[in-house]
Amino acid sequence: MSHTFDPTTLREYDIRGVIGETLGADDARAIGRGFATMLREAGGKKVAVGYDGRLSSPMLEHALIEGLNSSGCDVVRIGMGPTPMLYYAEASAEEVQGGIQITGSHNPANYNGFKMVFLGRPFFGEDILEIGRRAQAGEWADGSGTVESREVLGEYIERLVAGLEGIDHESLAGLRIGWDAGNGAAGPALEALTARLPGEHHLLFTEVDGSFPNHHPDPTDPANLEDLKRLVADKNLDFGVAFDGDGDRIGAIDNQGRIIWGDQLLMIYAEDLLARMPGATVIADVKASRALFERVRELGGQPLMWKTGHSLIKSKMKETGAPLAGEMSGHVFFADTYYGYDDALYAAVRLIAASARLGRSVTELRGAMPAMINTPELRFQVDESRKFAAIEEVKQRLAGTGAKVDGTDGVRVTTDDGWWLLRASNTQDVLVARAESNDQAGLQRLLGQIDEQLALSGLERSAQAGH
């Protein structure tokens, strides 16, 4: 018996597709069989399985477990919850060696997918291609496994609250925070968490609904933060926090409704962390502001620019021993007193803790940041066969010009008045551009440089693409 996946579903960081078109029960079963076979070969036997609030998730869970069992792995079902709860179940239980979360993350409601962890490390890239290769060849172990259900929400919430350890809860009694779960899988966990936190909490859209009736659960899009901004303004709250569909990405706004972007949150976390761990390495992806890297250096830390992608960042953290990392997209990773994975609920607790330890409100911390003028992520459609080649062409052309080029992930060019980035998405047929400068005129100059390079490769920036 063998199985062939739709070629669009096996991606760099995870597996994702459209239900009924490119992803279904047979795919889930084959993923279970491949993952179980690889885990058993590596000496593992037990896998934790969780799922998000999408309508198709229970169906995929059933098929995935069938596949895991029939290739000899035992399954611990933890039920519906945010992706970090699945990561927690895998990291905290010694007898569990792997974890799979069924989630479409921030994709539209008709999508779903799988995020995986294997012997405590991210499972991505070559691992995912290997699942596809084994499926096609029918190279699966045979066996039988058991299924047990385990309630982990309670202990997961306990672990989140521990992020406030050493901080006097009395001093936080006056804190007033707005929260938006966006009808995603983090809703019930958020209700349980805020019941345990000091202060006053106002919650939006905690009911899990895979059709996302209020707004799309992607906190990096300012349009999706409008409800939270209204709540914070109407009730004059200290700040607001929003989550994506599966609770591994955080969005935040201050008391004035200003968005605190991923790299700006990282500046706050870095200031808090470096006071306790002088000289520590802080990792950020290539899309992050120059202000972040300069701030980490100023605080005595070691800034490290790395490739975009939660799996790639987690692997780099393990390699370097960095206690903190983050991405523009709102994935934040803490490995100082936590497990090193991206957990937006924990990141929210750490924002409260950082503000308390630094003795400044979130609004004051946001207000003290340098005012950089930058573009959002500009995404535009490029044929799959051209996207990496075009980036290589730009690199080659710039090589002889004396430009300051960082080729970690695409091309990031630093100039006297800012920087610009051009990189190929690992998950879609798009190029991603971003630019940042000290003023509007500088920004226009940098965008002109991007356009010039694209034109030389026969491309243009006007073909905008969605997520």
Nearest to residue 187, comparing CAs of 97, 18, 53, 298?
53
Q: Rounded to whole angstroms, what are the CA distances from 434 to 417, 419, 423?
A: 14, 8, 9
Residues with Cβ < 8 Å from 346, sequence gap 6 or more?
84, 160, 163, 334, 338
d(CA 89, CA 29): 22
Pairing of strands 430-437, 378-381: antiparallel
Q: How far from 406 is each of 125, 306, 412, CA to CA, in Å?
A: 22, 10, 5
Q: Which residues are catalytic?
A: 105
Backbone phi, psi, residue 51, to 5°: -150, 160
| Spatial separation of the C-alpha atoms in residues 410 and 405, rounded to whole Å | 10
CA distance 184 to 53: 6
DSSP state at residue 221: S
The per-type count for the chain, helices as H runs and strands as E runs, is 14, 22
2, two tokens:
């063998």
Amino acid at residue number 224: N
Strands 418-424 and 411-415 turn out to be antiparallel
Are the C-beta atoms of residues 436 and 372 closer than 8 Å to each other?
yes
Q: What is d(CA 423, CA 407) in angstroms, rounded to the nearest whole number?
A: 9
